């Protein structure tokens, strides 16, 4: 699933999706064209409804974390099941050995705002 909109980056962040667009336990990928970052960014929604953001590409092999399985505080890569902490980007399970980057996300009035490059 990919994002459909963006409104440019400023102190209010980039509006990237409505929360309801992201099923609990799943994610969407926001294009680097929108985020202005080197990598696409995955917006991942935990089962408690909160949203988190990580660089989208698994640090092990090219796979989209937005297609991964979100459970607890981790997202599990769809290819080889490397796991990354949603809050920190730290790798929690092999085969990936390098951390990924976590970005700040805010949800306001049911809309998800992304702050690329800002730590959660």
Partner 1 sequence: MVASSVASVVVVGGGIAGVSTVTELRKNGYAGGLTLLTADPFPYDRPPLSKAYLSGAKDLESIALQAPEWYAGQRIDVIRGLAAALDPAAGTVTLSDGRQLSADRIVLATGGWPLWPDIERVVRGLLDRPPAGSGIPRSTTGIHLLRSAEDADGLRAVLLPGARLLVVGAGLIGAEVTSTARKLGCEVVLVDPANPPIAAAVGAQVAEWLHSLHALHGAETVTATVEKVESTNAGVVAQIAGEASPRTFDAVLLAVGMVPDTAMAKEAGLDVDNGVVVDDHQVTSHPTVLAVGDCARRQGHRRAEHWEAAVHDGARAAATILGVDAPAASAPWFWTDRYDLHVEVVGEMHEPEGEHEQVVRGTLGEPPFTVFTLRGERVVGAVAVDDPKAVRAARRMIDRGVDVRAADLADPSTDLRQLLRSAR
Kindly list the residues in this chain that would bind partner 1 in the complex (CB under 8 A): 23-26, 61, 67-69, 76, 78-81, 94-95, 97-98
* Angle in degrees, CA 23, 50, 6, rounded to 5: 70
The neighbour count for residue 98, using CB atoms within 10 Å, is 12
Q: How far is the CB of 17 from partner 1 (least distance, A)?
A: 19
- Are the C-beta atoms of residues 21 and 114 closer than 8 Å to each other? no
The CA distance from 17 to 112, in Å, is: 5
- Residue 9 vs 25, nearer CB to partner 1: 25
Q: How far is the CB of 105 from partner 1 (least distance, A)?
A: 21
The CA distance from 1 to 45, in Å, is: 13
Residue 71: closest CA among 38, 48, 42, 43: 48
Q: How far is the CB of 60 from partner 1 (least distance, A)?
A: 9
- Residue 98 vs 108, nearer CB to partner 1: 98
Q: How far is the CB of 82 from partner 1 (least distance, A)?
A: 11
- Residue 40 vs 74, nearer CB to partner 1: 74
- Residue 69 vs 88, nearer CB to partner 1: 69
């Amino acid at each position: 699933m990919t994002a459909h909109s963006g409104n440019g980056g400023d102190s209010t962040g980039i509006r990237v999706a409505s929360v309801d667009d992201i099923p609990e336990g799943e994610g969407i990928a926001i294009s680097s064209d929108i985020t202005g970052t080197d990598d696409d960014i995955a917006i991942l929604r935990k089962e408690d409804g909160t949203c988190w953001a990580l660089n989208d590409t698994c640090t092990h092999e090219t796979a989209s974390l937005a297609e991964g399985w979100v459970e607890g505080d981790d997202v599990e890569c769809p290819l080889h099941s490397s796991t990354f902490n949603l809050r920190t980007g730290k790798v929690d399970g092999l085969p990936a050995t390098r951390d990924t980057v976590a970005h700040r996300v805010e949800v306001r009035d049911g809309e998800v705002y992304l702050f690329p490059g800002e730590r959660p």
